[in-house]
Structures are given as structure tokens and as C-alpha cells.
Amino acid sequence: MRKVISVIAILLGAIALVVGIGQKTFWAPPETVTASMPEFKEESPLTVIQPSVQNPGSEPVELVITGKGEFTASLARSYDVEAWVGDAAHVELTGVDRENHQLIAERLDGEKKTPNPAGDDLFFDSQKADGTMTYRWTAPDDGDWSLLLAADGTKAAPSEISVTYANDDAMPWALPLIIIGALLLVLGVALLVMRVIKPAKSANSGRRAETAVANTKNGPTKQNSLAVAAVLALAVSGISVPMAPTSDKPSDSPKASESASASESASASAKPSESTAEEKPSYPVLTEEQLQRVLSDVEKQIGKADEKNTKKDLDSRASGAFKDLRTKRYDILNDKIKIAKPLALKTSVIRSAAVPNSSEAKFPRVITVVTAKDSDPATLPIALTLQQNSARDNYKLTFAAQMLPNSTFPGIAVGDPSVTQLDANAEGLKVKPKDALTQLADVLTNEKSKRKDNFAESEFIKAIHSGQKAEQKDAKEAKVKYSRTVTDKDTQVVSTPDGGAIVTGRLNQKAVFERTEDADPLESADELTKKLLGSSTSNGNVEITYAEPVMMYIPASGNDDKIQLVASEVSLLSVKQVEEN
């Protein structure tokens, strides 16, 4: 009987081993599986792939994208992709049904045509392909990132997509079968080789005692043999044997109590962290890599326009006050009037960058940067302000000027989460940005302004006052009246980590030369004025208009520091004869 049982055990063990090992090898499911897109009747100019196609905690998925001809895959933060798509018709891939190995997608109706998103500033990266692209999904930074597919905005975007990912299908009985098979094999072999010791017969009680002792010895011998067999089986199957049995009941020992208390304490301390994690994270509207790419192209395009004084070349990377003043400078240069060429931009080195985070950076978005051609401390840096009007627009330069002597710009790293975008009426500052520009206009116009103590000592303010005095003196019989206004639409504000703000704005100055009664005709002071006036003299009053773009730093409310001018310049716009009042 013992031999029959051992043979059955060996046979069952062998079968269990073969089946268990087979499920791990030749019967195992494929390591990866592929899910494909459903078909849609209508075509769309855009396809959006959401980050939910990626299974958290697993290896990045691999997408095979097929289109009709050339197309582009552009990666950006999900909320930016959503803003770019807007009301356009698009196919949206939202996830993967991993049980049925199918992609989950829907088509949303809307505008049939869009601009081509390829290379837009909004996107971290754009990759081109012709026909087929294999894209390995990896996010360049924390947060949610989406992929936008497009041909050129007018043709159908690729919608034939397949996703390959690790196969989660498992053979749950593989390991138990291997263990059971090993145990049965060892048990069967042990039964075959085991020799049972029979006790000797005895006629007296002494012999019975010896038999009892013999039985006692034989019992442990058989049990020890089975225990050794079980340990060997577990060793073969790769399972470790605990030194002592475990219990589901909590231990009464002091150490166990301390451990339980520590665990409860850790759990309690984890709760605030969990609530903190629930707060919506915020990310910079541009990564450092994106910012460097934008600045490089701005330098290239503005340099191209400066080279030939072509206004049309400014369109792609200039707007606002900067474009207005640059255009006027080109007009003067193209009239063969000898004036200095405009400031050449140098953006190779980013010294500081106030890049707002996404929480308050609604469109239009504004960033302020200080750049230089190299890292030499003696190199004069240039202060720049750029604006992105909408998700589909690129950043355009609205302000550019060399930093003033003895001025400072807060050191800010790209991506500092404390930087936000503000408006002209922002609170929490020593003076509202709008009011600060109005006060500066008054200080520049009137040397004895009541607001002068609000501003730190500045070489620019001194130069303006000195120039106005000299101009009034040279006017002789004429009276010179100065006035300044603020162009509200050109006011842009970005906060700094210390609670202050960088403000960019534009002042417009008018200097009116009024002839006194019976005075001689007014004479132009220089060749530029003569050219713009069209004459060397004037029998009427003369009005000269200047633009004064400025950048200033406003400290936080309660700070004892004064408002400081960071950068500024004066640009002559027009000279004309006006009627007497």
C-alpha cells in the first residue's frame, strides 16, 4: 500500500511540476500586448493623446502612430494642449482598456481647420514623421503631459494608433503547482526509501516498557524524516521557511506595543501630507529649455529685421511698445538719417528669469528675463519682457533695454513656483503698478515732484532732469512745457519671490516749444530734428514726442526699500509744428 501511495504521489507531483513550469515558460502569455484605436466615420484636424494611456508605476508605453503623409507629434502640458485645441474638432484618446486590449477614444466635433501647431512655443517638443512614427511615452517633467498630433491643421490628423504595453495577464496557479509538485515528488521518494522499524514482542512488563521506548524512538524518526522532506521540497521551490509560526493576533510584548504606537503615529503624521498632496500643483509656463529656445529665436528674428531695417520681419517676434519704437527707428534709418542702430539683442546667457507658474498665468502670458552675451560680470545685461497673447501665438518681445547703471534685478531661477503673473492694480505692493508708473511720469516731468522720495536714486532720472534743463536753456526766447502720460495697454507685471514685482510700462513724453510774442523763428537743434520737422526753423510752436519704455522693481508692502528703475531708454518719435494755443 505504501508503494502504491508513493507512486501516485510521484506521478501527481511530476504532473503538477510540468503544468506549473509550463505556465511559466511555453504556456506563458506574451510579455507585451497591443491595443488599437476604434474607427471614426469623420476625420479631424487634430488628435490628442492624454496621459491616461500610461499605466502609473509601469514601464512607458510605446505608441505606433500612422498617418497619411507627413505629420507632427507635439508634447505639452495637458492644460496647454487643451487651450491650444480650443473648439477645434479632434479625436481624443483617453485611456487603454487593458482587460480587452482596446484603446478608449472619442471624437469631438468643432472647427474643421486650425493653424499648424508644429514648433509653437507652447510645446516642449515637436517630432516630425512621414507615414509612421514610433513614440515612446515619457514625460519630461512632473505633472500631466499630452501629445497633440496634426498634419498641417487642414488635413486629417493621424487617428490610426496602436499602443504596446507590458502584459498584466498572469498564470496564478503556476507557483502553487510547482510547490505542490515538488512536495509530492519528495514525499513519494521518501515513502519508497523509508524503512519502518517494527517493535520486538515481549512477554513481561519489562519488555513492554522497552517496546514503549522503542515505539517512542521510532515515532520521532518517522516525523523527522517527513520534516526534512518538507524542508527540501520548500528549498527546491524557492520558498523560505520562517523560524517561528506567525499569528494574526497582536503581540502583548512591550516592543510590539511600541511598534504599534509608532505605526499609529506615522499614520497620523501622514494625514497632513496627504492633504497637502491634494493641493493642485503648479508648474512654470515655460521650462528652461523652452525659454532658451524662445529667446534664441527672438534674437535671430529681431537681428534679421535689424540687419535690413525691414518692418515685416518684426511681425513674428515683436509686438506692443517694442515693435512701435523699432518700426519708427527703421523709418528714420531708411530716410538716410544718421542715427545709431537699435540695440542688438544678446540672449545666450540667462542671468535671471521671472517665469510665472500656471496657476495665475492666464492669457496673455508675460515673462521677464535678464540676458547677456556671456557670463562675464562686466558684460552689460539686457532686460527683456515677452508676451504670449494666446495658446496658439508665440511669445513676442514687448520691451528690451540695457539695465541702468547701479540697478539690480532679483535673482530668480526658471521654474520658481512663487513667481506669478499680476495685473496693473495688483495689491500687496508698496505702490500699485499703475500708480507707480503715473508717479514716475510726474517725477520725470517735475524735478520737485512730491513723489520723488518714493524712488531710489537713478542715473536715468538725473539724466532726464539734466536734459530738460539744458533744453529749456537753449530754447532762449521760447518756453518749453513738458508732459507725460502712461500707455495702460503696455503695462505688464510679474511678481518676484520676495513679494515684490517687476513692472514694464511705457511713458509718452511731449515737449512743446512755445514762441514768445515777437520772438525769432524757432531753430532746430540737430540734424535729426531738422529732418523730422522738414525745416531748420519754425514760425509756430513745435511739438517733439518721445517714448520712454521703462522697467521698474516695486518692493512688497511694508518693505522700507524704494521703487527702483531697472532699465529704460528714450526714443524720439516725431517733430512737428503745431498751432499756437
> Residue 468: pLDDT above 60?
yes
> Residue 411 in contact with residue 502, Cβ under 8 Å?
no
pLDDT band for position 173 (cuts 50, 70, 90): low
Please tell me which of 201-205, 258-262, 537-541 the model is most confident about, judged by mean pLDDT: 537-541
Question: Is the pLDDT score of 483 beyond 60?
Answer: yes
Quote the pLDDT of residue 361.
Answer: 66
Per-residue model confidence (pLDDT) at position 251? 43
pLDDT in tens, 322-361: 999 999 999 988 888 888 889 999 999 999 999 999 876 6
The phi and psi torsions of 63 (rounded to 5 degrees) equal: -105, 135
pLDDT at 283 over 80: yes
The span from the CA of 441 to the CA of 293, in Å, is 36
Dist. CA 189–CA 257, nearest whole Å: 46
Reply yes or no on whether the pLDDT at 92 is more than 60: yes
Confidence class for position 12, pLDDT limits 50, 70, 90 = confident
Q: Which three cell numbers stand for residue 263?
A: 505605526
Question: What's the rounded mean pLDDT across residues 363-383?
Answer: 94
pLDDT at 278 over 60: no
Instruction: State what percent of residues in the chain have pLDDT above 90.
Output: 54
Instruction: Assign 181 to helix, strand or coil.
Output: helix
C-alpha cell at 190: 521518501
In the prediction, which pLDDT does 98 show?
79
pLDDT for 50 equals 93
Q: Degrees (nearest 5) of the Cα angle 451, 453, 455?
A: 90
* Distances 526 to 328, 333, 512, 530 between C-alpha atoms, Å: 18, 16, 16, 6
Nearest Cα to 392, choosing from 367, 415, 365?
Answer: 365
Task: Count other Cβ atoms within 10 Å, centred on residue 219.
Answer: 10
Could you report the per-residue pLDDT of 500-545, keeping only the tens digit for each? 999 999 999 999 888 776 665 566 666 666 666 666 666 678 888 9
**pLDDT tens-digit readout, 441-452:** 999 999 999 999
Tell me which range, 223-237, 245-259, 314-328, is most confidently predicted by mean pLDDT.
Answer: 314-328
| H helices present in 279-416, as ranges | 288-308, 320-334
8 Å CB contact between 412 and 352: yes
The C-alpha angle 235, 236, 241, rounded to 5 degrees, equals 20
Say what the pLDDT of residue 24 is: 65
DSSP letter at 131?
E
256 pLDDT tier (thresholds 50, 70, 90): very low
pLDDT of residue 539: 65
- Given a contact cutoff of 8 angstroms between Cβ atoms, the answer to whether 178 and 237 are in contact is yes
- Whether the per-residue pLDDT at 461 is higher than 60: the answer is yes
pTM of the prediction?
0.77
226 pLDDT exceeds 60? no
The C-alpha atoms of residue 282 and residue 291 are separated, in whole angstroms, by 17
Q: Which residue has the higher pLDDT, 201 or 335?
A: 335
pLDDT at residue 439, rounded to an integer: 98
Gyration radius (Cα) of the chain, Å: 40
Beta bridge partners of 556: 429
Provide the pLDDT for residue 279.
Answer: 61
Q: What is the DSSP string of 453-496?
A: GGB---HHHHHHHHHHHHHHHHTTTSEEEEEEEE-GGG-EEEE-
Among 253-257, 300-304, 420-424, 503-507, which is the least confidently predicted range? 253-257
d(CA 384, CA 20): 68
Does the pLDDT of residue 172 top 80, yes or no? no
pLDDT of residue 436: 98
- DSSP H or E run through 2: helix 2-24
Query: Model confidence at 74, in pLDDT bands (50, 70, 90)?
Result: very high
Confidence of residue 564 (pLDDT cuts 50, 70, 90): very high
For residues 370 and 230, which has the higher predicted lDDT (pLDDT)? 370
Residue 26 is classified by DSSP as T
Q: Which residues, in sequence order, are CB contacts of 65 under 8 Å at separation 6+?
A: 71, 73, 129, 132, 133, 134, 135, 149, 158, 160, 161
For the segment 380-417, what is each residue's pLDDT rounded down to a tens digit?
A: 999 999 999 999 999 999 999 999 999 999 999 998 99
Neighbouring CB atoms inside 10 A of 17's CB total 20
Question: Once rounded to an integer, what is the mean pLDDT over residues 459-486?
Answer: 90
Least confident window among 110-124, 150-164, 239-253, 318-332: 239-253
d(CA 177, CA 197): 34
Place of cell 492669457: 363
Omega before residue 364 within 30° of 0, cis: yes
First-to-final CA distance of the chain: 131
**For residue 219, how many C-alpha atoms fall within 13 Å in the half-sphere facing its CB?**
6
Mean pLDDT score across all residues of the chain = 81
Sign of CA dihedral 242, 246, 252, 258: positive
Are 552 and 563 in contact by the 8 Å Cβ rule? The answer is: yes
- How far is residue 516's CA from residue 506's CA, in Å, rounded to a whole number? 32
